[in-house]
Amino acid sequence: MGADRVEVLDGIDVQVGQHHFVSLLGPSGCGKSTLLNIISGLFEPSDGVALVDGSADRLGTCGYMQQKDLLMPWKCITDNVALGLIVKGTPRREARARAEEVLERFGLGGFGHRYASEISGGMRQRAALARTFLAGDGVLLLDEPFGALDSLTRLQMQSWLLDIWQASAASVLFITHDVDEAIRLSDRVYVLSKRPASVVLTLEIDLPRPRPYETVLSPEFLALKVQAIRYLHPDAQDVNGEEMTSDG
């Protein structure tokens, strides 16, 4: 086993404050999902420490939505959303009542009796996020939740997620490959290197909220985007054909 060990993360220091929205950007396969698995308590780090609310006892304390919605096809949407609470010991009737309340809030009122195969991709993602919010105790780990959606639905879901997050007290750690998405949603963006991943750039996003999609056209937004791209694609060229170096 020792010869097969692969170093995935290298000295990563990531912090998410109360009611902060933080995103991770990095190349495919660099270890972003592994980091969420560690924070969620599914994995333990071989070195260093991962804390949620100051505690290393993390398992079951975060709502974790992986890349697929993982809705169970034989359960109705209400039962899917209630599942995390039921697993934690909440009585089924209470869990279903809370699930129906959050479905209403998430724009899925009247769809709780439906099955995953009967609703659209965007609605499936809303249902999966509703389950994550209910189970999350205020800490949400979202691994490319919109990656499988078409571009128009993705933009709509970004706006919807911002509205839901701003009305809550949740702290969010969000993985995406989309630079625009990361900057538009976040208070802070960590740009990661290739594996073994380390943080090569931390962007503090001071753009005013709310952030309609037109925000991506502002000079301030574009300046942040250029910084991120320089570190994600150090061999990229600007519109004049000149190399974009990471030292600015």
Give the pLDDT confidence of 115-146 residue by residue, as tens digits. 999 999 889 989 999 999 888 778 999 999 98
From 56-70, 73-87, 94-108, the region with the lowest mean pLDDT: 56-70
d(CA 196, CA 30): 6
Residue 112: pLDDT band (50, 70, 90) is very high
Q: What is the mean pLDDT of residues 86-109?
A: 93
Three-state secondary structure string covering the chain: CHHHCCCCECCCCCCCCCCCEEEEECCCCCCHHHHHHHHHCCCCCCCCCCCECCECCCCCCCEEECCCCCCCCCCEHHHHHHHHHHHCCCCHHHHHHHHHHHHHHCCCCCCCCCEHHHCCHHHHHHHHHHHHHHHCCCEEEEECCCCCCCHHHHHHHHHHHHHHHHCCCCEEEEECCCHHHHHHHCCEEEEECCCCECEEEEEECCCCCCCCHHHHHCHHHHHHHHHHHHHHCCCCECCCCCECCCCC
Q: Which of 59-68, 114-123, 199-208 bottoms out in mean pLDDT, i.e. has the lowest?
A: 59-68
The contacts of residue 104 (CB under 8 Å, 6+ apart) are: none
Q: What is the pLDDT of residue 162?
A: 93
Q: What is the pLDDT of residue 4?
A: 67
**What's the pLDDT at 52?**
85
With bands split at pLDDT 50, 70 and 90, how would you rate the model's confidence at 248?
very low
Q: Residue 235 — very low, low, confident or very high, per pLDDT cuts 50/70/90?
A: low
Say which residue, 178 or 149, is predicted with more confidence.
Answer: 178
Integer Cα distance of 40 and 152 in angstroms = 30
pLDDT at residue 184 greater than cutoff 60: yes
Q: Are 166 and 21 in contact (CB under 8 A)?
A: no
CATH of domain 1-43+138-248: 3.40.50.300
Look at 243 and 169; give whichever has higher pLDDT. Answer: 169
Residue 130 in contact with residue 81, Cβ under 8 Å? Answer: yes
The rounded mean pLDDT for the chain is 88
Most confident of 26-35, 53-62, 105-114: 105-114
Q: How far apart are the first and last CA of the chain?
A: 43
Torsion of CA 230, 236, 238, 242, to 10 degrees: 110
What percentage of the chain exceeds 90 in pLDDT?
54
- Segment 66-87 mean pLDDT: 92
Average pLDDT estimate for 164-186:
94
Q: Which of 226, 214, 210, 95 has its CA nearest to residue 164?
A: 210
Q: How confident is the model at residue 110 (pLDDT cuts 50, 70, 90)?
A: very high
Phi and psi angles of residue 197, each rounded to the nearest 5 degrees, phi first: -75, 135
Note the pLDDT of residue 59.
78
pLDDT for residue 10: 83
| pLDDT score recorded for residue 238 | 52
More confident residue, 96 or 50: 96
- Return the residue matching tokens 């009542």: 97
